[in-house]
Amino acid sequence: MNWLAQQLDNLAWMAHGGAVYVFAAMAIVCALAVVFTHNVVRMAFWLILCLAATAGLFFSLNADFVGAAQLLIYVGGTLVLLIFGVMLTASGPFLQMRTKPGEMVLGGVVGLALLGLLLSSALAVRWGERSPVLASEVVGAGFNPVAEGNTTRELGLKFLGASSRDLKTGRGELSAGYLLPFEIVSVHLLVVLIGAAYLARTKRRKQPADSSGDSRSAALSA
Amino acid sequence: MNPELSTAAPADLNLYLFVAAVLFVSGIVCMATKRNGIGVLMGVELVLNGANLNFIAFGRFTKLGIDGHVLSLFVIVLAAAEAAIALAIALNFYNNHLSIDVDRADSLSG
Amino acid sequence: MTPVLAASSILELLQQYLSPNAAYLLAAVLHAALVLGFFGVAPLIYIWLERKVAGRIQDRLGPTRVGGKFGWLQTLADGIKLIQKEDLCPEAADRMLFRMSPYLVFVASFAAFLVLPWADGWIAQNLDIGLFFMLAIMSLEVMGVILAGYSSGSKWALFGGMREAAQVVSYEIPMAICALVPVTAAGTLSLMDLGRIQSGPFLNWMIFHDPFCFIAFFVYFVVATASVKRAPFDLAEAESELVAGFHTEYSGIRWSYFFMAEYASMFAVSGVATALFLGGWNTGLGLEETVLAGWREAGGPWYLLANLLGAKVFITKGCLLVFVQMWVRWTLPRLRIDQVMTTCLKYLLPISCALFLGVAIWPLAVFKLTGRSTLVNSLKVMGTDIGRPMSERSFVPGVPQARHAGPVEAQATPVAPAPQGTDRAGAELRVPAAPTLVPAAADKVSSS
């Protein structure tokens, strides 16, 4: 019985840490699949899985609100939009536009070089030493909404320029907050809405040649 | 939730940086090699996600804190706006050229 | 008292026997298994119910033979038949996507059940952002439907998928805004907290909180019906035009995944409506603060009994709403696709925006006019107050409080800014807010 409990305990630890690695592996594999797939709809499918795995990573980082926003806006909104676009622009049933192998190789080499550069510079820094104020202090004991992923109120306060830590300690010099950027983004969204509607509105399609236009008008009159 | 479990960092910062770098580079390669306009858009989404992951990871492991969350929220919203506009442009392009192949968008080249 | 009955949650029970980590893992698995059980059984019953309802409305009997008098086992028999069928994949289909998309729909539909509050403290995963998570997850389901429609390689399916994309993306917006109306009034996104706020007599339910919430409930219900693609909004599978819409090419067990997901989603949106507007697990008879509170205090089997009653009430309310959806389906004719889009974009969207604006202004207007933060005076009925202000109810979101709390519940309590008297910055924030601005929010802070 004791042995079983011990095994279960180990398994729990592994499951807890392992979920993060599963999400990380899934994100990486799906991102690579997006690159190497030629069919656009399959690319969209892999992208869904990749973004969902990234949302899982957000949840593992106690960023519940951002994770849910990622699922709602990216996967539920943007990707549906993309697939809509695929359907409206596809000329064949399962559209494929092959990249030339040379381009692919060149892209791959440049990509690998960039990856090497990024990784070598990012992993060379000892983040723990550079920034000694790590999670233990940021998410202090007893008053700890972020540690459990309950970031909603914290985010709301942040938009107003406060933080619960300021309120708690009374060192409350309220900063400017993110209200102005928020307003700018909302106006930006409105502009985008109008702009997209203007750009995408139905226009007369440019006829490749006169003959097709004639046949079309003939078909209409018939 | 068990406090012991919830506060312990399940993985360190480097794992997240690694994943973010791979997402970023995949996006760049995607943007560079895809000929389908919508494929290029998907590359942009990947790049933005890599950046987002970095924001959140630094928010968790350094003093950036909740500011990282706010920034990544802005990124998500702006990515949605970008996708809407880019898709409208793609549709317009398709209406004019009957194709979504970005290599054929060469009217301006001399 | 046996430990099995003494625990208030699965986690608490397991912690008596196992190490914390193992208990946590096992509790998570059990939570998922319980939700999956409900997720599997509910559609079986609903499909039978749908047949009975359809039959009665059309002056027929519906299934009568399989499994006794009322045809109880009809769905089970159908399920066995479906499992035996050949797993077909059309020649023209994109095989991988064709096979994957039913799972996508199924998983998205199931994950929505993780944050449904069954009773006080009974929830699979108590998230601070429960409602937001729910909306996000439910928006994933459309992805599977679109991919199914596209990958089938059939015109009917493609049209169904396109319609679904246009419809759901449009209806998501008024749905989210309508769901935000009671959230704005209550001040929390957590479905568990929303349930706790609405305890007491039924006038405490959010639907009776103000006129905007009242209208929002009906708008939400219409929009939710559309977003789970039920008639009269089932354009994605319009039989008379598109054979069977997006699942034309599916058969056997994969088809039944779509079907199960549809019925489970019906309950999911009804459950959200229940938790948001109709008092969640609360009976509405004022029992919560008189009888059931005592049971909870007593702990042990009494606690279990109180929560079982709560779960029963919650499921009953959800099933009633599901029944209404079926009733509507067999009564109203299907709309045309352009009518569906017009209804959403020209009517429901402006209405929901106006409701949202209204509910934001409501507390200010009430306070200006009456000097109180609610319209109704508190009435003592059966030992409980009717129309008590949000801030004076037994549960206030964002304020940690002592309760008969298992560990799962302890996590539920959002550790929000709860400034104490000694807290300078908190006091400064509090003072100007209390008399003039948003009285409910200000009371909430000061009542801590």
Which is higher by pLDDT, C110 or C8? Answer: C110
My answer on whether C292 and C433 are in the same domain is no
Predicted confidence (pLDDT) per residue in A2-30, tens digit? 777 777 777 777 776 777 888 899 999 99
Chain B CB contacts of A73 below 8 Å = 76-77, 79-80
Chain B CB contacts of A192 below 8 Å = 81, 84-85
Mean predicted confidence (pLDDT) in C358-383: 69
pLDDT at res. A188: 92
My answer on whether C170 and C283 are in the same domain is yes
Predicted confidence (pLDDT) per residue in B49-96, tens digit? 999 999 988 887 777 777 888 889 999 998 888 888 888 888 888 877
Mean predicted confidence (pLDDT) in A155-162: 76
pLDDT at res. C153: 79
User: Is C375 part of a structural domain of the chain?
Assistant: no
Within 415-434 of C, beta carbons closer than 8 Å to A belong to: 415-417, 419, 423-426, 428-429
B16/A88 Cβ within 8 A:
no
Predicted confidence (pLDDT) per residue in C101-143, tens digit? 888 888 888 888 888 888 877 777 777 888 888 888 888 888 8
Look up the CATH number of domain B12-100.
Answer: 1.10.287.3510
CA C384 to CA A75: how far, in whole Å? 45
pLDDT at res. C352: 92
pLDDT at res. C431: 33
My answer on whether C359 and C416 are in the same domain is no
Confidence of residue A200 (pLDDT cuts 50, 70, 90): confident
- Tell me the fold of A14-107: Four Helix Bundle (Hemerythrin (Met), subunit A) (1.20.120)
My answer on whether C77 and C129 are in the same domain is yes
Chain B CB contacts of A119 below 8 Å = 17-18, 21
C neighbour chains, 3+ CB pairs within 8 Å: A, B
Chain C CB contacts of B2 below 8 Å = 20-21, 23-24, 407
User: Is C382 part of a structural domain of the chain?
Assistant: no
Q: Look over chain A and give the mean of its residue pLDDT values, rounded to a whole number.
A: 74
Confidence of residue A205 (pLDDT cuts 50, 70, 90): low
CA A100 to CA A96: how far, in whole Å? 12
pLDDT at res. A95: 53
pLDDT at res. C303: 76
Predicted confidence (pLDDT) per residue in C284-326, tens digit? 776 766 777 777 777 677 777 877 888 888 889 998 999 998 8
Which of C370, C404, C423 is the endpoint of a domain?
C370
Positive or negative, the Cα torsion across C334, A90, B44, C146?
Answer: positive
User: Is C263 part of a structural domain of the chain?
Assistant: yes
My answer on whether C414 and C362 are in the same domain is no
Which of C340, C370, C400 is the endpoint of a domain?
C370
Q: Where exactly are the structural domains of chain A?
A: 14-107, 145-158+174-199
Label residue C82 exposed, middle or buried (CB < 10 Å: 0-12, 13-18, 19+).
Answer: middle
| Alpha helices, DSSP H, located in C334-423 | 337-342, 349-370, 407-412
CA C168 to CA C324: how far, in whole Å? 21
**pLDDT surpassing 60 at residue C423:** no
ipTM of the complex: 0.84
My answer on whether C398 and C277 are in the same domain is no
Plot region of C117 (φ>0 → left; ψ -120 to 50 → alpha; else → beta): beta
Which is higher by pLDDT, A119 or C153? Answer: A119
Q: Which residues of C touch B (CB under 8 A)?
A: 20-21, 23-24, 407-408, 411
Q: How many domains does chain C have?
A: 2
Report whether C174 contacts C215 (CB < 8 A): no
Predicted confidence (pLDDT) per residue in A23-58, tens digit? 899 999 999 999 888 888 888 889 988 999 999 888
pLDDT at res. C253: 82
Mean predicted confidence (pLDDT) in C170-191: 86
Which of C342, C370, C398 is the endpoint of a domain?
C370
My answer on whether C41 and C11 are in the same domain is yes
Within 45-64 of B, beta carbons closer than 8 Å to A belong to: 45-46, 49, 52-53, 56-57, 59-63
Confidence of residue C370 (pLDDT cuts 50, 70, 90): confident
Question: The domain containing residue C439 runs over which residues?
Answer: 390-446
* B53, B70, B77 ranked by CB distance to A57: nearest: B53
Report whether C236 contacts C164 (CB < 8 A): yes
Confidence of residue C79 (pLDDT cuts 50, 70, 90): confident
Predicted confidence (pLDDT) per residue in B11-58, tens digit? 577 888 889 999 999 999 988 888 888 888 889 999 999 999 999 888
pLDDT at res. C392: 60
Q: Look over chain C and give the mean of its residue pLDDT values, rounded to a whole number.
A: 75
Which is higher by pLDDT, C301 or C274? Answer: C274
CA A221 to CA A217: how far, in whole Å? 6
My answer on whether C143 and C266 are in the same domain is yes
How many beta-carbon contacts under 8 Å exist across B and C?
Answer: 15
Q: Which residues contact A100 (CB under 8 A, 6 or more apart)?
A: none
User: Is C194 part of a structural domain of the chain?
Assistant: yes
Which is higher by pLDDT, C431 or A99? Answer: A99
**pLDDT surpassing 80 at residue B104:** no
Predicted confidence (pLDDT) per residue in C380-413, tens digit? 544 455 555 565 665 655 554 443 333 433 333 3
Tokens matching residue A169: 């300690």
Confidence of residue A182 (pLDDT cuts 50, 70, 90): confident
User: Is C385 part of a structural domain of the chain?
Assistant: no
A170/C423 Cβ within 8 A:
yes
Shortest distance between the Cα of B92 and any Cα of chain A, in A, equals 6
Chain C CB contacts of B4 below 8 Å = 20-21
**pLDDT surpassing 80 at residue C421:** no
